Structure 1
Amino acid sequence: MKIYTLHKTQNLPISLERAWEFLTYPQNLKTITPDYMGFNIESGADRPMYAGQIIQYMVTPVLGIKTKWVSEITHVIDHNYFVDEQRFGPYALWHHKHFLKEIEGGVQMEDIIDYKLPLGFIGQMVHPILVKPKLEEIFNYRTQKLEELFGTYK
């Protein structure tokens, strides 16, 4: 069983309060997700994140195949971190930790995603040619979009 980890950090020239407000409002996830993914929240995003919240999405990650994704927000420590875990969707495991901390002149966002692909050996074979590049592309898009919205950290 191979578990992969994606680790990203980004600094933004905004307050911790503003970052927390934006990132914990589920509707904003659509703003920082590439349009081609057809990201659409179906339910559970009517309030800021809280532990136990279930959010249902439809997403088209590859080959035009629509996929249902259900996430649970399992942990929330106000203005510090939150965790979402896939309950149903394309991964055998998806555990995404979002950390925020104040830094001089802004805030640092840190994402740590532990994930496992389905289909055993076949999943491991497609990871380097399909899954890993797609995740990198999605997080690069997010980085660009957040800089467009909030500016570049100097």
Structure 2
Amino acid sequence: MIYTLERTQFFTCGLDEAWAFFTNPNNLATITPDTLNFKVLDTFDTPEIYEGMIINYHVTPLLGIRLSWQTRITEVVPRASFIDNQEKGPYTLWQHTHEFFAEDGGVRVKDTVRYAMPFGVLGTLVHKLIVKNKLREIFDYRQQTLEKILNYPAHD
């Protein structure tokens, strides 16, 4: 079964600033909860993603078990969208689409994650009991952190 997680968030910064933040792989750890012990294993010559870029991570999502994860940037439409797909990792499918929409007063960013669990019925059960809520917590943390980084205080 393929699951979908969607989140949309408005930021008061400009499109260029949001794009620069989201497309810098060095910022991934900043928007990931410390409890996951998330670590990007690569160093990058460029601070911005590009089609074909591979990013390797370690993450400890559950019970202290460290997992290796690798994603590939499969599509980049500058200042509009990019997609990363899991190449190696815990899911049988992980496709994360990031979309950017310039609006009056800022930018709206939409995340759509399509994912599937391994292990058939057991994977479905683990999703229902653990994974669905864990992903919500991760994206809640991400939203709260991004709120602090990309939203400017209102001026009177």
**TM-score band w.r.t. shorter chain:** over 0.9
Q: Supply the AA of the counterpart residue of 2:14.
A: S
**Which residue of the partner structure matches residue 42 of structure 1?**
41
Q: How far, CA to CA, are the matches of 1:99 and 1:22 in structure 2? A: 13
TM-score by length of 2: 0.94
Q: Secondary structure at the match of 1:61?
A: strand
Per-residue CA shift, 1:35-55, capped at 9, x if unaligned?
111111112544210000001
Look up the match of 1:144.
144
Q: Does 1:14 align with 2:13?
A: yes
Runs (4+) of structure 1 exceeding 3 A deviation are none
Q: Residue by residue, what CA displacement relative to the aligned partner does 1:57-110 show, whole Å, maximum 9, x if unpaired? A: 001111111000000000000000000000000001101100001111110000
SS in 2 for 1:110: strand
Give the letter aligned to residue 125 of structure 1. Answer: L
Displacement after TM superposition at 1:150 (Å): 2.2
- Whole-angstrom distance in 1 between the partners of 2:105 and 2:153: 8
Amino acid at match of 1:31: T
Identity of aligned residues (%): 44
Aligned partner letter, 2:104: E
> Is this contact kept in 1: 2:71–2:87, CA < 8 A?
yes
User: 1:53 matched to which residue of 2?
Assistant: 53
Aligned counterpart, 1:98: 98
Q: Distance in 2 between matches of 1:7 and 1:153?
A: 26
Distance in 2 (CA, whole Å) between partners of 1:44 and 1:57 is 11
Distance in 2, matches of 1:49 and 1:106, equals 22
Amino acid paired to 1:142: R
Gaps of 5+ in 1: none
- Match in the other structure for 2:130: 130
Q: 2-side partners of 1:153 and 1:76: how far apart?
A: 30
- Structure 2 match to 1:73: 73
Amino acid in the other structure paired with 2:82: F
Structure 1 residue 4 and structure 2 residue 3: aligned? yes
Name the SS for the 1:133 alignment partner. Answer: helix
Q: Could you say what the CA RMSD is over the residues aligned between the two structures, in angstroms?
A: 1.4
* In 1, Cα distance between equivalents of 2:153 and 2:100: 15
CA distance in 2, matches of 1:136, 1:153: 26
Cα distance, 1:4 vs. partner?
0.4
